[in-house]
Amino acid sequence: GAVVSQHPSRVICKSGTSVKIECRSLDFQATTMFWYRQFPKQSLMLMATSNEGSKATYEQGVEKDKFLINHASLTLSTLTVTSAHPEDSSFYICSARSGTTNTEAFFGQGTRLTVV
């Protein structure tokens, strides 16, 4: 199946700093990418949807100025957690799909963010 690569797999940062997470589709063009957040023992919660070349659409309750999403090309989307706080510590997962309707989505391996 298609491969989505997420980097880094884990990161520790200090409170108040910013962290960038990259999501790349390695062998297909991802017209749409999704960013999820998952807290321990909970399910994945969608944060935002991004389409290449346009602004991301954020879910209710997700601060767009705090979680900056850029989808500048068909193979790369980035999520930047700005001014991170300990409560932002979570498992962040990206997902990518091509333009075909109702294909399966492909997920990155996730990024474990710890803010100290």
Partner 1 sequence: DAKTTQPNSMESNEEEPVHLPCNHSTISGTDYIHWYRQLPSQGPEYVIHGLTSNVNNRMASLAIAEDRKSSTLILHRATLRDAAVYYCILRDNNYGQNFVFGPGTRLSVLP
- Applying CB under 8 A, the residues found at the interface with partner 1 are 1, 4, 6, 32, 34, 36, 42-46, 49, 51, 91, 93-95, 99, 101-102, 104-110, 112
The β-bridge relationship of strands 10-13 and 111-115 is parallel
CA–CA separation, 112 and 8 (whole Å): 8
User: Which tokens in the block code for residue 99?
Assistant: 């333009």
How far is 65 from 60, CA to CA, in rounded Å? 13
Closer CB to partner 1, 70 or 98, in the complex: 98
Of 52 and 82, the one with the shorter C-beta distance to partner 1 is 52
Query: Which residue number, 29 or 83, has a Cβ lying nearer to partner 1?
Result: 29
